[in-house]
A and B are shown apart, each in its own frame.
Chain A
């Protein structure tokens, strides 16, 4: 019974992070209608930056976030201007190809700089355990979970209650009408994208201690983000949160219960495929 509770808690913690990643993807998609196949790789960049900070400079990853996040914001802004903005009216196919190529480049660059050796990240919380009644959880994942929820709530607040957020909603619903009303649409899109990348820059270092880093980790994260995004429903923040938790839970529960256990990683994808088959109109088509 305790093992089950343990697994469930771990799944929820993971799910919270997944939800955040999917939320970032969703908000960007709502204003640009571009599905970024390099999404997960950007988070991996954040992780490796944290690793480098710890390894080469001796800086704790949690502290490094203060530098990494703004850095990634700027990088995200430039990336949008250079790669994504020219593609704003391009068909989905082109966006898929270019972002796949981007993912490729990021992975190769990481491979080049950090080699394919598995790396681990240590933080001030490494090894610390928190106790919640019968459940014992490592501190790092809990922090990641809490931070994810906080960021998600912050995003919700900004979108619903600030002037900038209202502009985002306007651009998401009707780009042209927003432009006519005086909104600099491309600036809004670039800012949202940059903010999403910055969030990856926060989530990356938070998650890094929980994982073994490798350059190719990005694809899996991208796909999980897609799955949660689509399952959750585009403008449905609560739905995305729930979907993230479901996927996180399914991953951890299947690793416990699945026979044979090696098939466990397939579960989220199977859920995804079934969902898409049953509700293909889903979320993306309002966009095109």
Chain B
């Protein structure tokens, strides 16, 4: 569904992504892992159109979306939940969700999407009119995911959804992702918590020094000695 080929990107004069090629097949959960500063968020910025790559191509469902504006990418159905929630704190929960429904493709389905989000996160239904900035970390993450879901994504991209969350809440979030995937959602997940990410993934990519150092089925990576040593401290 999503294909990255030979991506090279960076900021100013500094190269961060040297040469990345990866793919996400429909209906799968794929994890992109790596140490802090490896460039995972940079790669996601390229995918979502926040940044133009210096070289390489991004293809989504066959269409070359390299260099497209972020709203155009969202319109195609590739929707990202950015790192750190990035909610509109001065707006209500409801307003945040509705803003996620901006893509024209998703607008006709507004009612159904809203219902799905509220059934997945009932607490948001209770706090519809509350200002998003006053919610707890975990609740904010739910709003962030809900906002993305309101865009009727075909591929959901998440940048470190468990960051800053208590472990139990993080597990809950990942559980929701697994449920979404069971219902058919394709997911690309960037995570620092390797164990948790791999536990719900089908496939994993390890980003190191700007290139993909390892790429394998999640099952295999979980037992790979290199992964165990570098990221799981074993």
Contact = CB atoms under 8 A, between A and B. Distances in A.
Same complex origin of A and B:
yes
Interface of A: 163, 166-167, 169-170, 173-174, 176-186, 235
8 contacts: A163-B98, A166-B98, A173-B89, A176-B70, A179-B49, A181-B148, A182-B106, A186-B69
Among A173, A186, A235, the most chain B Cβ lie within 10 Å of the Cβ of A173
A180 B99 contact: no
A185 B71 contact: yes
B103 A177 contact: no
B25 interface: no
A169 B148 CA distance: 18
Contacts of A163: 98
Contacts of A166: 91, 95, 98-99
Interface stretch (B12-20, B73-81, B199-207): B73-81
B87 interface: yes
B18 to A, nearest CB: 24
Contacts of A181: 74, 79, 99-100, 102, 147-148, 151
A278 to B, nearest CB: 27
B71 A179 contact: yes
B35 interface: no
Contacts of B86: 174, 176-177, 180
B141 to A, nearest CB: 14
A180 B91 contact: no
Given A182-B71, A182-B102, A177 B82 contact: yes
Nearest to A176: B50
A167 B71 contact: no
Contacts of B66: none
Contacts of B118: none
A182 B90 contact: no
A180 B69 contact: no
Contacts of A173: 88-90
Contacts, number: 68
B50 A182 contact: no
Contacts of B91: 166, 169-170
B48 interface: yes
A169 B71 contact: no
Among A183, A185, A235, the most chain B Cβ lie within 10 Å of the Cβ of A183
Contacts of B98: 163, 166
Interface in B33-92: 48-50, 69-71, 74-75, 79-80, 82, 86-91
B205 to A, nearest CB: 22
Given A179-B49, A185-B70, 6 more contacts: A177-B88, A180-B50, A181-B79, A181-B100, A182-B151, A186-B69
Nearest to B45: A176
A184 B90 contact: no
Given A173-B88, A173-B90, A178 B79 contact: no
B88 A180 contact: no
A131 to B, nearest CB: 43
Nearest to B103: A182
Interface string B101-115: 011001000000000
Contacts of A179: 49-50, 69-71, 74
A98 B89 CA distance: 33
A180 B90 contact: no
Contacts of B50: 176, 179-180
A134 B12 CA distance: 66
Contacts of B87: 177
A163 B95 CA distance: 9
A181 B99 CA distance: 7
Given A166-B91, A169-B88, A176-B86, A183 B99 contact: yes
Among A170, A173, A176, A177, the most chain B Cβ lie within 10 Å of the Cβ of A177
Contact of A184 (B69, B80, B95, B147): B69
Contact of A182 (B82, B89, B100): B100
B48 A180 contact: yes
B55 to A, nearest CB: 22
Contacts of B151: 181-182
Nearest to A171: B88
